[in-house]
Amino acid sequence: MKKIFDCCIIGGICLCIVSCQKQFIDLDPTAQFTDAVYFKQPSDFKAYTAGFYNQLPGWDFSTMDNSSDLSANANSNGNDLGRGTISVGSTSWDYSGIRSCNILLSKAAAYNGTGDISQYVGEAYFFRAFAYFGMLKRFGGVPVDTTVLDVNSPELYAARNSRYEVVTQILSDLSRAIPDLPTEQTIPSTDKGRASKWAAEALKAQVELYEATWERYVGQAPDGDGASVGAGGKGYDAANVNKYLSDAVAMCQDVMDNGGYAIWNKNSDPTMTNLSSWYLFNLEDAGSNPGGYDKSTNNEFILYKVYDYTYKQGGINLTWTSGQLYPSRKFVDMAVCTDGLPPQKSALFQGYHHTGDEFQNRDLRLLNYLYASTQAPASITLDFGSLGSSGYGNSKYEVYKYGPAPAGRRTDNTESANYPVIRLAEVYLIYAEALYELNGAITDAQLDASINKLRDRAGVAHLSNALATANGLDMKEEIRRERAIELYREGRRFDDLKRWGILEASLNPSRLGRVVGDASYSTDFKDASGNPTSSYNASSYVWGEEAVQTPAGTLNCVVVDSYQNHTVAAKHYLYPIPTSQIILNKKLLQNPGY
């Protein structure tokens, strides 16, 4: 009897415990949704697309054209391309943003709710195009995926699509994004920073100009044959160049006419002392400039990454390092004089005998970008130092009132200006360049509707056909010059040099600093007998001096980065595909020359 009783106890307990199993094993998340219940209402889509904005470029020294022909600093970001020392192991091949967009589009396809989600669908197309454009600029043709891949998807092991197929995909995505996205005018202030219809049109124009000029000036050589090397030329159509250019003009025209954007020109406010081109890039709250303008006054930025002193600071020592992003001799000689003519053509140019001479009667942008001032310093000391000083400073991106409180306003890493991704100035520049590339000419009215508005802010005379003809200027070069000056250190220079087909010619010469002259051309740095003055620590310049053509004749300049360090070649128009990816997917063929 007792035995049976014991058995009952044991059996009972066992049964009971087995039924407890579920309590321990079949658990659900207590603080997370699964995607089974998500993406059911517009706010879910809105929240998901908010994450896309992290994909926009932000404050980062690697997007500041370091080591380009306009830069003479030793901060090494950009050295691999600027010097032609790209290694095949290191470049990034990132599809995570593309996957996020594909996820949203697949969830949108399955959406059967009542609220409108078209804006968010448009954002997904926009960001997918943005991501593929980044890949195109870096690698040329890449595999194009428009669905959400799984680990078993055969697409993972597919060959590269050609650049022409990638461009087709980008333009198709943007064409779908444009009608879905709201106009800037209808985006509420709480959502400012999200992509507008105009941003998509501006991006489309940017892509079209990029591709049209690439096809015109670089051609098909970097494509390879697609069978043993490169992504191949599938889908190439010579007629696309003009098609793209005319659409780029149309896109810009729409943004210019209907976007409601305007150049941020506060030069009429005397407290702003003609420094609009400086204050625009450190615009934060009312304390960020003497005129009391805050971010809400800026309707020049069409697409930008939002930063905020409270919620999202720049996080890099922007002001300190910006000061060391020295411009090169080439850049300083490029800016026009107030008569609208380049220094070599202008009677206003003052030469180099004294430190400040070359800045007399020049483009305000030169002084704004270099010295946060309208006056150049009267004396400087040329010392190579540890960073290879060119003798010029850089102030673009530097903050107003740098230093700790109470004397200063901002210290390093806390600078929080919005980062411009596309601004109206670039739309003007695209417009002018696309028109000229399309027609071989541009009218004065078209110039006045576009880049002459930039010249107004820069305090220099308008560019006109008459000015060009009278002074023997090449209009195409003048438009490119305007672009180089206006978009200085905004991450466009390397791509421009490539699509104009002048990468090797531009990057292989030495990066030079100040003119130091010699006995026949004395300066503050060399006396009449050609000896270095106390302002010139000649022995510190490890690469010595080089005589080059300047607006004042062939003169000696200090060398910051010697041509000997530069081996840029045809292959550098594209980056190499990372070897690790080729090991994983044997069908990825390396770009030519690597």
Nearer to other proteins, 46 or 481 (CB): 46
3-state secondary structure of 36: coil
Half-sphere exposure for 4 (CA within 13 Å, toward CB)? 1
Pick out residues in 232-251 that bind other proteins (CB under 8 A): none
Minimum Å distance from CB 98 to other proteins?
Answer: 6
Nearest by Cα to 352 from 69, 554, 560, 563: 554
Nearer to other proteins, 95 or 236 (CB): 95
**DSSP 8-state symbol, 510:** P
3-state DSSP of 453-507 = HHHHHHCCCCCCHHHHHHHCCCHHHHHHHHHHHHCCCCCCHHHHHHHCCCHHHHH
CA distance 353 to 581: 55
Pick out residues in 366-385 that bind other proteins (CB under 8 A): 385
Task: Indicate which single residue of 154, 404, 440, 472 sits in contact with other proteins (rule: CB under 8 A).
Answer: 404
CA distance 357 to 256: 38
Minimum Å distance from CB 438 to other proteins?
Answer: 36
Interacting span for other proteins (CB under 8 A) from 191-199, 484-492, 504-512, 519-527 = 191-199
Nearer to other proteins, 17 or 378 (CB): 17
Minimum Å distance from CB 445 to other proteins?
Answer: 33
CA distance 534 to 527: 10
Neighbours of 174 (CB within 10 A): 27
Q: How far is CA 216 from the centre of its chain?
A: 22
Nearer to other proteins, 300 or 496 (CB): 300
The two three-digit tokens of residue 96, written as one number = 């995570």
Give yes or no for residue 310 binding other proteins (CB under 8 A). Answer: yes
Nearer to other proteins, 93 or 236 (CB): 93
CA distance 167 to 152: 27
Nearer to other proteins, 51 or 115 (CB): 51
Minimum Å distance from CB 392 to other proteins?
Answer: 17
Task: Indicate which single residue of 320, 505, 549, 570 sits in contact with other proteins (rule: CB under 8 A).
Answer: 320
Neighbours of 29 (CB within 10 A): 7
Nearer to other proteins, 19 or 554 (CB): 19
Contact 503, 509 (CB under 8 A): no
Give yes or no for residue 98 binding other proteins (CB under 8 A). Answer: yes
Minimum Å distance from CB 247 to other proteins?
Answer: 29
Give yes or no for residue 190 binding other proteins (CB under 8 A). Answer: yes
Interacting span for other proteins (CB under 8 A) from 112-120, 166-174, 358-366, 398-406 = 398-406
Pick out residues in 524-543 that bind other proteins (CB under 8 A): 542
Minimum Å distance from CB 161 to other proteins?
Answer: 11
Nearest by Cα to 44 from 101, 109, 108, 135: 108
Give yes or no for residue 50 binding other proteins (CB under 8 A). Answer: yes
Instruction: Provide the residue type at 365 as one letter.
Output: R
Task: Indicate which single residue of 4, 32, 268, 445 sits in contact with other proteins (rule: CB under 8 A).
Answer: 32
3-state secondary structure of 304: strand
Helices 424-439 & 197-217 angle (0-180, nearest 10) = 40
Interacting span for other proteins (CB under 8 A) from 42-50, 265-273, 355-363, 547-555 = 42-50
DSSP codes, 73-102: ----TTHHHHHT---TT------HHHHHHH
The two three-digit tokens of residue 285, written as one number = 């709250």
Give yes or no for residue 16 binding other proteins (CB under 8 A). Answer: yes
One character per residue 100-129, x = contact with other proteins (rule: CB under 8 A): x-xx--------------------------
Nearer to other proteins, 299 or 439 (CB): 299
Pick out residues in 128-187 that bind other proteins (CB under 8 A): 143, 145, 148-151, 153, 155-157
Minimum Å distance from CB 191 to other proteins?
Answer: 6
Contact 356, 529 (CB under 8 A): no
CA–CA distances in Å: residue 292 to residues 155, 279, 557 = 54, 11, 41
Minimum Å distance from CB 544 to other proteins?
Answer: 11
Minimum Å distance from CB 337 to other proteins?
Answer: 32
Nearest by Cα to 279 from 374, 364, 367, 400: 400
Task: Indicate which single residue of 183, 375, 549, 580 sits in contact with other proteins (rule: CB under 8 A).
Answer: 580
Size of the site for other proteins (CB under 8 A): 102
Give yes or no for residue 228 binding other proteins (CB under 8 A). Answer: no
One character per residue 193-222, x = contact with other proteins (rule: CB under 8 A): xx----------------------------
CA distance 290 to 112: 52
Nearer to other proteins, 360 or 411 (CB): 411
CA distance 15 to 10: 9
Give yes or no for residue 295 binding other proteins (CB under 8 A). Answer: yes
One character per residue 55-94, x = contact with other proteins (rule: CB under 8 A): ------------------------x---x-xxxxx---xx
